[in-house]
Amino acid sequence: MTATAVPVRPLKGREPRPQRFREMSSQVGWGVLAWVVGIAFFLPVLWMVLTAFKPESAAQTWPPKFTFSPTLAEFRLVFSGWGPFVTHSVIATAVSTLLVLLLGVPASYALSVHPVKNWRDGLFFFISTKMLPIVAAIGPLYVIALKTHLLDSIWLLIILYTAMNLPLAIWMIRSFMLEVPKELLEAARLDGAGRIREISGVILPIISPGLVSTALICVIFAWNELFLALNLTVTNAATMPMFLISSVPQEGLYLAHLSAAAVVASIPVILVGWIAQRSLVRGLSMGAIK
Amino acid sequence: MTVIEGVAPPKVEVRPRGVSRREKWQRRLPLLPALIYTIVVTQIPFVVTLWYSFQSYFWNTPAPAHFNGVSNYKTVFTNAAFRSALVRSVVMTATAVIVAMLLGVAFAVLLDRKFLGRGVVRTLIITPFLVMPVAAALVWAGPMLDPNFGLLNYLLQPFGVHHVAWLSTHALSSVIVVMIWQWTPFMTLIILAGLQSQPADTLEAAKVDGAGALATFRELTLPHLRPYIELGVLLGSIYLVNVFDAVKAMTQGGPGTSTTNLPYYLYQQVNNAFDIGDAAATGVVTVILTIIVATFALRMFARVFQFEEGGV
Amino acid sequence: MAQVKFVSASRVYAKNAPPAVSALDLDVKDGEFMVLVGPSGSGKTTALRMLAGLEPLDGGRVEIGDRDVTFVPPKDRDIAMVFQNYALYPQKTVAENMGFALKMAGVHKDERARRVREAARLLDLDDQLLNRKPKALSGGQRQRVAMGRAIVREPKVFLMDEPLSNLDAKLRVQTRSQIAELQRRLEITTVYVTHDQVEAMTMGHRVAVLAGGLLQQVDTPRHLYDNPVNQFVAGFIGSPAMNLQTVPLAEGGARIAGTTLPLPPAVRTAASRADLKELVLGIRPEHLHVANGSGELTGSGNLAGSRELTGEVLLIEELGADALLHVRLAESGNLVVARTEGRVSLSPGQKVTFRVRPEDVFAFHPVTGARLAG
């Protein structure tokens, strides 16, 4: 019968650990590989940022310059020219995202918590609109816009961006609503909550982080959208992607200016994406992956 | 003591079930705004497209549109440019999706292990996706691939590459590279989610059962990743087949038509040609082809989406 | 020969944190069923994982057979493990699950199939289950597949990490005896981890009690029960738990419920040497014999030299064949649980008298928990 009532200090003086050393060096090797890959993949972005701070003369050289005296000249140029473009982008993105949430929350509710009879058909209808190429209808879309005097209007973009993001948002918000524990809803029901109270009092507070993720994804897609803006706007509603296209002149040096414009145009989405990394997966997979 | 006899089971009356009519409408109501909005905004343009596809309507002539049957469709099907744009779309999408998925798996495996600065490397890897697509395309076209000043030529110098004009001689590959660059992060994140959802104890059981790293990956991890790979390929294809920005910004479909994919072809038709009828018919054919593919895709979608709910 | 030895084995997770396993010295004989039991955080699972090679050692070594396997990877240790959540391979069929290790070892397909069928028969797994995936199996079936996966390998040592904890109560009792019987039949050294002391007592040849990373006592179930080496073991083993009360020392013994229970001289000497004014008294529920009003015993047995304790019944738990009485003892107010012999007609609020034999009483140090005079 053995018994230990008093703790015994482990032996001092560790034995040699060949296995530990091998483990450690493989871990370090792995880390090095990952860093190399990460930096290599990130290189074009790095180059873009670097070039943005160059004076034009230093941006088009051979060999390409890694050291130079940085200047904010190109950025200043960008900021002096971006006014209307960024305004249109902000308005189109913000309003369309808001509309998406206003339309999407009730629709997701009707497809998840108290589902309509043919909810599967409804869901697939929405996703099918995402699969149909908007490019195919651009001609007649142009004609319609012309005839309804919506051509080159910010409202046209808002309307189209809302339609573009709505299916995605519905799938996403639905996936969040499905996570609300049924017991909470039943308890609310017992407490006398009607549908409106159920949504506003129980569901919305719980899924609010999910709504934020959904909004972020909508912002990303609306902000980056080029095709519709290109074809349906000229000056009165031109957005940031158009600004970028216009920063490539017919002749003359432009690489630094382009890079600065590219950086400025991309910063909002990059920041949003860095902060909301986890939501990215969920949004892009339409709610399939949590 | 009383004897308990067998008791005949009570007669059960079943009331007819079903949701009341009022309840049905109450459920439909929240759905209606979004549904009506989507139908109006997305279906009307297509109806109009369909209408115009049967018309002869030229933008640059004063003559009004008039019906000309299916002659527009005949033009579309005999148009070699349309067919080649279609083929090119398939080639570009398939190549980009496959390579992006392969890279995505590799990157996800890299990111799945702990190492110093893992979060930073992950952020670096997903950034290409966050750069505005048209910005990314322009930056690749200019500062990266320029024959005289581009970074790529400089980096490849030690390998004997000299001042290649990528967008002239390797236009299609260049565009595909940019597509891959932007969408690999998407694949990486999906596969990473799959790797992290793998239960740790099955991996330990494999260790005890004698499986090395490679065998574990082949026998356990890949089967586990299958639904994630399918999802990534499916969604990636949907997004990639519609890529427009890179083509517009980098090559404008050229040289010649070597990088013209279907979205760009349609764009050209609408902007450069004045034949609305033809453009409409092309659009309709594109939509029909998409519907055929999408039907298969949707069936896959349904199956793939089960996996998250069902669990393994 | 496959005995298992832990020699001063330690595992520390954080620099200044107490070790998860602290210098464990444990010998498991060849063919023995050794149970590691203890509350959560006791280090039992960590110790098992150290034996499996899934946790590295920070000190000491582990031996299987006569081999030091401290730095040997799990697959070369010739062990098989049953995990708590079974860890079955979800995309593989039952047959593929069970044959996986053999496949990794390069065993031919036919031989694999034969051994899988054999193991399946041993565990009462139907042939038609062999082609199903784990998803389509019940909890009990999955548990058996997990066992089958281990058995098929014919290893030197079986390791089991709480394999019964996910089964419902009835199935647990059934499977318990099946596992014990299987081990007796196969005669493979087995190290079994559980937090359930009933499992430990009924299944193990020997039981090792761990707490806070330290081995408290390792012995046969009977000896653990009759001769706990400290308060922890005494209170952990046995259900319902031993009654442990802190009581003041008095002339010749300990004072409880208005009586002085005599303590053996060895205990009294140990107490005075440690300068104790009080100690912890331990009495098993079945050693509180119920007497009727006049001091006569309602049960049988010779209780020469016993003393009387009185108290008030607070609650009666009817078990059918006997009952558990929750009693508040007179004067000191200690709460004890007593097991009756057979039926008694008592009700809450009534007075009850117990007879206790001094030799059935355990004494423990109030601070260290060590048994006073073993």
So what's the pLDDT on residue A4?
Answer: 39
Q: How far apart are CA C226 and CA C224, in angstroms?
A: 6
Among A30, A132, A267, the strongest candidate for a mutation testing the B interface, having the largest count of B CBs within 10 A, is: A132
Question: How far is the CA of B243 from the CAs of A45, A95, B133, in angstroms?
Answer: 20, 25, 9
Closest-approach residue (CA) in chain C for B225: C91
Tell me: pLDDT of B307 over 70: no
Q: CA-CA distance, C239 to C233, in Å (whole number)?
A: 12
Average pLDDT of every residue of chain B: 86
Give the pLDDT confidence score for residue A145 in this predicted structure: 86
How many Cα neighbours within 13 Å face the side chain of C263? 31
**pLDDT tens sequence across B3-48:** 666 677 777 777 766 667 787 888 888 899 999 999 999 888 888 8
Residue A25: predicted pLDDT: 81
β-sheet bridge partners, residue C67: C64
Distance CA C257, CA C238 (A): 24
Task: Give the mutation candidate from C86, C104, C135, C142 for the B interface (greatest B CB count, under 10 A).
Answer: C104
Chain B CB within 8 Å of residue A21 CB: no
Among candidate residues A74, A79, A54, A75, the one with its CA nearest the CA of residue A64? A54
Q: How many CB atoms lie within 10 A of CB B259?
A: 23
Q: Which of residues 188-247 of A touch B (CB under 8 A)?
A: 195, 220, 223-224, 226-227, 230-231, 240-241, 244-245, 247
- Put simply, the answer to whether C216 touches A1 (Cβ < 8 Å) is no
Q: Do A131 and B294 touch (CB under 8 A)?
A: yes
CB atoms within 10 A of CB C245: 17
Nearest to B211 among C52, C92, C104 (CB): C104
Give tens-digit pLDDT for C252-288.
Answer: 888 888 888 888 888 888 888 888 888 999 999 999 8
pLDDT digits (tens, 9 = 90+) for B174-227: 999 999 999 999 999 999 999 999 999 999 999 999 898 999 999 999 999 998
CA-based angle B270:B275:B278, to the nearest 5?
85
Would you say residue C362 has pLDDT above 50?
yes
Mean of pLDDT values over A60-85: 87
Q: Is the pLDDT of residue A227 over 80?
A: yes
Backbone angles phi, psi at A204, to 5 degrees: -55, -45
Could you tell me the two tokens for A275? 């902060």
User: Residue A105 has what pLDDT?
Assistant: 94
Mutate to test the interface with A, among C214, C226, C236, C280 (most CBs of A within 10 A): C214
Average the pLDDT over C205-209 and give the result. Answer: 96
Q: In the prediction, which pLDDT does B277 show?
A: 80
- What b/e readout covers A70-102, taking b as 16+ CB neighbours within 10 angstroms? eeeebbebbeeebeebbebbebbbbbbbebbbe
**ipTM for this model:** 0.84
Instruction: Let me know: does A135 contact B267? Beta carbons within 8 Å.
Output: yes
> What span, in angstroms and rounded, lies between the C-alpha atoms of A206 and A173?
12
Question: B144: which DSSP letter?
Answer: I
Q: What is the nearest CA distance from C38 to chain B, expressed in angstroms?
A: 22
Write out pLDDT tens, residues C283-341. 999 998 888 655 555 555 666 778 888 899 999 998 888 899 999 988 878 899 999 88
Write the pLDDT tens digit of every residue in C140-185. 999 999 999 999 988 999 999 999 999 999 999 999 999 999 999 9
pLDDT in tens, B54-110: 888 777 777 777 788 788 888 888 888 888 999 999 999 999 999 999 999 999 999
Res. B311: pLDDT tops 60: no
Which residue in C88, C90, C104 is closest to B210 by CB distance? C104
CB burial readout A143-170, b (16+ within 10 A) else e? bbbeeeebbbbbebbbbbbbbbbbbbbb
User: What 3-state class would DSSP assign to A16?
Assistant: coil
**Contact call for A167 and B38, based on CB within 8 A:** yes
Q: Determine if the pTM surpasses 0.80.
A: yes
The confidence score (pLDDT) of residue A137 equals 79
Instruction: Give the one of A130, A166, A289 whose C-beta lies nearest to B34's C-beta.
Output: A166
CA of A34 to nearest chain B CA: how many angstroms apart? 6
Contact A286 B235 (CB under 8 A): yes
Residue C368 sits at the chain A interface (C-beta within 8 Å): yes
The pLDDT value recorded for residue C17 is: 87
CA distance C212 to C316: 34
3-class secondary structure, A3: strand
| C360 contacts: CB under 8 Å, gap ≥ 6 | C283, C284, C287
pLDDT tier for residue B136 given thresholds of 50, 70 and 90: very high
Residue B268 has pLDDT above 60, yes or no: yes
| Residue A2, SS3 per DSSP | strand
Between strands C67-68 and C214-219, the pairing is unpaired
- Give pLDDT, residue C224: 94
